[in-house]
């Protein structure tokens, strides 16, 4: 497919320099900047994971926090109560989330449009309630939450999430330029039409759902290790989902690099507004968001592609 849809080759050397710079950041930057970048990359993975499934298939996933919460809980409990090493606990959380997602996807991905979105919210809210009840508290510690120290340095955590973010963007790039990506797009375009042209839409969308669950779950595990704490309202917070979606809108739904750009823009605008206009920042932020949706519904990258500033290819 690369022969067909290729971007400007100049982009790659630029990205290599950027990557080298990002790897070197912990050697000269303050903890404040490091923390900010950790958040940027966590949310890059959330937004890219969301976009990988929803941006391509058109099934709006309002239950991203469910992936984050389930994986976050599994890894946090393994570290806190069973003394697992963080590097082992994280993938176990993500794999567990992926496996449960097979069942969830098999049931809920039959539901289309807004009903799917609502059912994912219901799943997230229901799980949040369940994790706080006395029935599950022997495992989840109920509403008290799980405080823990994973014994990981901030710089190590930074490199881990940087590596995950880079892998996620590469996976998105690969998917968006593959036939698998095209098949996912047909689901968004016309699911029934795709089926009568021999595309096994159920299998394709569940595969994308699991892949999204794995990546987002892994970032969720890292997120709560970074916070040293997890509790149900924090883990299954719909704001996590909404933030990822808004970041995707900033950068452009269905683009490869839009989520990274969205995460950076969002985090820095957020940070500046919060520091300068502590009481008004949410109101200002809301106004920016409305303006964005009104004037740039296709997001920054989508807009640049439309204007011809960037080539109109799927691999950007």
In the complex, the residues that contact another protein under the rule CB under 8 A are 1, 4, 179, 182-183, 185-186, 188-190, 192-201
In whole angstroms, the minimum distance from the beta carbon of 195 to another protein comes to: 4
Q: What's the rounded Cα separation, in Å, for the pair 171 and 181?
A: 11
Place of tokens 């710079």: 21
Query: Environment class of residue 83 by beta-carbon count within 10 Å: exposed (0-12), middle (13-18) or buried (19+)?
Result: exposed
5: phi then psi, degrees, rounded to nearest 5: -120, 85
In whole angstroms, the minimum distance from the beta carbon of 247 to another protein comes to: 22
HSE-up of residue 170 (Cα within 13 Å, Cβ side): 10
First and final C-alpha spacing in the chain: 14
Residue with smaller CB distance to another protein, 174 or 270: 174
Residue with smaller CB distance to another protein, 9 or 196: 196
In whole angstroms, the minimum distance from the beta carbon of 313 to another protein comes to: 10
CA–chain centroid gap for 30, Å, is 26
Which candidate, 113, 131, 133, 98, places its Cα nearest to that of 62?
113
Cα→Cα distances 245→44, 112, 125, 188, 267, Å: 11, 18, 18, 17, 13
In whole angstroms, the minimum distance from the beta carbon of 310 to another protein comes to: 16
Which candidate, 46, 77, 53, 64, places its Cα nearest to that of 223?
46
Which candidate, 4, 1, 2, 11, places its Cα nearest to that of 304?
11
The contacts of residue 155 (CB under 8 Å, 6+ apart) are: 26, 34
Residue with smaller CB distance to another protein, 1 or 95: 1
Residue with smaller CB distance to another protein, 141 or 305: 305
Place of tokens 């159920």: 202
In whole angstroms, the minimum distance from the beta carbon of 178 to another protein comes to: 10
In whole angstroms, the minimum distance from the beta carbon of 162 to another protein comes to: 33
Beta bridge partners of 230: 146
> ∠ CA 91-92-94 to the nearest 5 degrees?
60
In whole angstroms, the minimum distance from the beta carbon of 172 to another protein comes to: 18
In whole angstroms, the minimum distance from the beta carbon of 269 to another protein comes to: 29
Q: What's the rounded Cα separation, in Å, for the pair 76 and 5?
A: 42
Residue with smaller CB distance to another protein, 168 or 177: 177
Residue with smaller CB distance to another protein, 125 or 195: 195
């Amino acid at each position: 497919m690369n022969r067909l849809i290729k971007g400007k080759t100049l982009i790659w050397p630029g990205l290599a320099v950027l990557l080298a710079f990002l790897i070197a950041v912990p050697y000269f930057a303050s903890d404040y900047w490091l923390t900010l970048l950790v958040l940027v990359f966590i949310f890059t993975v959330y937004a890219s994971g969301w976009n990988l499934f929803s941006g391509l298939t058109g099934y709006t996933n309002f239950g991203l926090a469910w992936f984050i919460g389930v994986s976050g809980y599994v890894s946090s409990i393994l570290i806190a109560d069973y003394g697992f090493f963080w590097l082992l606990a994280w993938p176990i959380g993500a794999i567990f989330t992926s496996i449960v997602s097979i069942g969830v996807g098999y049931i809920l991905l039959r539901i289309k449009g807004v009903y799917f979105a609502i059912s994912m919210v219901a799943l997230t809210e229901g799980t949040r309630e369940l994790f706080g009840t006395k029935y599950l508290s022997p495992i989840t510690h109920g509403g008290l939450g799980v405080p823990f120290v994973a014994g990981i340095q901030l710089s190590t955590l930074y490199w881990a999430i940087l590596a995950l973010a880079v892998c996620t963007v590469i996976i998105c790039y690969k998917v968006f330029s593959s036939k698998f990506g095209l098949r996912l797009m047909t689901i968004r375009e016309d699911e029934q039409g795709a089926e009568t042209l021999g595309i096994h839409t159920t299998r394709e969308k569940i595969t994308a759902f699991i892949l999204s669950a794995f990546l987002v779950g892994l970032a969720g595990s890292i997120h709560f290790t970074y916070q040293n704490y997890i509790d149900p309202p924090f883990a299954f917070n719909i704001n996590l989902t909404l933030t990822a979606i808004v970041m995707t809108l900033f950068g452009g739904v269905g683009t490869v690099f839009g989520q990274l750009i969205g995460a950076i823009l969002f985090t820095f605008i957020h940070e500046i507004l919060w520091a300068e206009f502590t009481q008004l920042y949410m109101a200002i932020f809301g106004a920016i968001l409305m303006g964005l949706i009104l004037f740039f519904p296709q997001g920054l990258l989508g807009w640049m592609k439309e204007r011809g500033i960037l080539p109109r290819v799927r691999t950007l």
